[in-house]
Amino acid sequence: MATTKILHPTVGPINGSTAKEGVVQFLGLQYATLADRFAPPAMREYGEQNETIEATKLGPQVLSVAPNADGEFALLQHTLEYDRSTLTQSDTEGLCLNITVPEATKGGPDTSTKLPVFVFIHGGGFVVGSNVYPHYRLGGPGFMTSSQMRKAGKKPNNGLRDQRTALLWLQKHISGFGGDPDNITLMGESAGGISACYHLFSKEPLFKRMMPMSGTMLLVPAVTPEVADANYADAMKALGLGGDHGDVENMVKMDAQEFVVRLARAGTPALPVLDDEICPTNFDFASIMNDKTSIPGQQWCEAVIIGDCAFDGNIQGLRFGHRKKGCADAFCKSITNTLGSSNSGTAEKLLSGYGLKPDLGDDEGFFKILQVANDLNFYIPTLALAQNLSKHMETYMYRFNQPNPWEGPWKGHATHILDLTFLLQNFNEYLDESQRGSAEQFAKDVIRFVNGQDPWTAWKRSGESQGEAKVLGPNEKMEVVEDVPEKVERRSIILDLAREVGLDKLNDALNAFLNTTPPV
C-alpha cells in the first residue's frame, strides 16, 4: 500500500496511505487526549509540529468488551473478513478519527476545494462499537456518573462529549484535508443516531445537516441524576468497591479489562444523564411532537434525513431474549397491569392489535413483542421527530423495507442496521441485482444530500397536512409515497391507540416490560 505524505497547515506533516486509486486515508488521527478514563476530552493541540504523524493504520479502540465488528455481523447474519490482529484497545489513547479524502495532489490536498464533510458515528448501544469507525468512550468510561464522581471533578456524558470534541476538531482542522468546516453532515446509526439527535441540544453549531438512522433521542431519553446515582451504587457492588469517597480513584486504577467486563456482566446501563450542557432538558413524545422542547439545533441545522427499517425491533430481542420462555404470557400480564386498570380497554386493544395472547408459543410471542417494540421505539419516534424538525428545517424521510437476504432467524425481514449495510456499499457483492441497485441508489441520494441537494421530496412542505417518504424495497421498489402506515408497510395500531391515551403512556407500558432487563 503506497504512502502519501502531506504537510497539513495546522497539524503538520502526516503520512497517510492510498486505499485505492484516487483515494487516500489518514487513520487513527487522535482528536483528543485523556488524563484518565473518566477525564473530559481535551482537544489535541499540535502547535509547532515537526515530527511526522503516522496515520497509516487504525488507532487503538476505546475500552470495550467486544473489540471488533463480530457482533454486528451476527446481527446482520453475514460477515466480512478483516484482520483481527490489527485491533488493539487503549484506556486513554482511543479517541481517534479516520479521514478519507480524494487523492492528495503535490504538496498535499487542495485546501481550496472545500469538499463537503460526511461524519459517521457508530452504534452499539453505547457499550460496543467497531474500531473501523470514528469512536468515543463506551460503557462505564463513557457514561457512568454519580454525585460522588461529579464532586471528584468527573463530568457526565463523556461519550457524547468525546463526539462533540471530534466535531469541533473537524471544524478546526478539516480544511487542511480539503474539507469545508462549514459544510459538515453528521450521520449515525442506532446509538449513533441517538447521539446525533442529542447534539442538536448544543448551543454552538456543530454541523449543517444530520442523518439519524434507526435511532432518535426518544429511544434513549436521558435519565435523572438520581437514577444515575442508583445505577452507580449497583456498579460499585459489581466492581467490589465499598461505596465511599475513594471509589473514583480506585476505578481509575482498576485493570481496564476487568473494569469493563465486570460492568458488562452486571448489566450496568450506559445511558445519557441530564446535565447543564450535553443533555440539558427533559423531553417526551408529547413535548417533541408539540415543539415544546428547547432544541437550539433547530436554528443552526439546515436539513435532516430521518429513517427506519421495517423491523428495527429485532435489536430489542437482545434485551429479553433470555426470557423468551413464556414471554407472551409475561408480556400480556405486564401490559394489562400497566394499562388495564387506568385506561379501560387500551391493553386489550394493543394486545389484540398485535395478535398477542398468553398461550402463544415462545417463538411467535417473541416475534410479536418485537413488533410492538419496533413501532414504539423506532417507527413512531421518526414521525415525532419529523413533526418537530420539519417546522424548522428541510426534513426528508425514508422507510427501508429491503428484506435481509442471508440465512438466519431474521431472513426476509428489514432488520436493524441493514439500511447502513446498503448505504455504505460494503456488502454489495452479496446482494442480488435488484437489492444492489437499491443500495446504489440510496447512496446516490445521500451523496446529493451531503452536497446540499434534495435527496428526494421533502417529508412535509408548507401547508401540507401529511408527509411523504421514500420507500426502499422490497427488492427493486423505490418510490416516494404518502407517509402513512398502509403505504410504507407499517402498522397503524399504535397511532390509533395514541389518539386515546397518548404515546407516552404506551411507551411507558412497553418499558415496564423491557426495563426488567438491562437496555441494549
What does the pLDDT average to over 207-225? 97
What are the structural domains, with CATH classification, of the chain? 3-301 (3.40.50.1820), 305-514 (3.40.50.1820)
- The residue that leads in pLDDT, 71 or 218, is 218
For 422, phi and psi rounded to 5 degrees?
-70, -45
pLDDT digits (tens, 9 = 90+) for 16-68: 998 888 889 999 999 999 999 999 999 998 876 678 999 999 898 888 876 56
Q: In the predicted model, is pLDDT for residue 315 greater than 90?
A: yes
DSSP secondary structure letters along 153-212: TPPS-HHHHHHHHHHHHHHHHGGGGTEEEEEEEEEEETHHHHHHHHGGG-SS---SEEEE
Rounded Cα distance between 13 and 19, Å, is 19
- Beta-carbon contacts of 211 under 8 Å, excluding residues fewer than 6 positions away, are 185, 186, 187, 188, 193, 196, 304, 305, 306, 307, 446, 449
SS (H, E, C) 349-403: HHHHHCCCCCCCCHHHHHHHHHHHHHHHHHHHHHHHHHHHHCCCCEEEEEEECCC
In the structure, what pLDDT confidence band is assigned to residue 464 with cuts at 50, 70 and 90? low
Rounded Cα distance between 347 and 357, Å, is 12
Instruction: Indicate the length of the chain as a whole number.
Output: 520
* pLDDT at res. 473: 95
For 359, phi and psi rounded to 5 degrees?
-95, 10
Query: Which one-letter amino acid corresponds to residue 110?
Result: D
pLDDT digits (tens, 9 = 90+) for 186-204: 999 999 999 999 999 999 9
Q: In the predicted model, is pLDDT for residue 321 greater than 80?
A: yes
Are 435 and 507 contacting, i.e. CB atoms less than 8 angstroms apart?
no
Q: In the predicted model, is pLDDT for residue 106 greater than 50?
A: no
Q: In the predicted model, is pLDDT for residue 518 greater than 70?
A: no
- Beta-carbon contacts of 43 under 8 Å, excluding residues fewer than 6 positions away, are 31, 32, 165, 168, 169, 172
The pTM score is 0.95
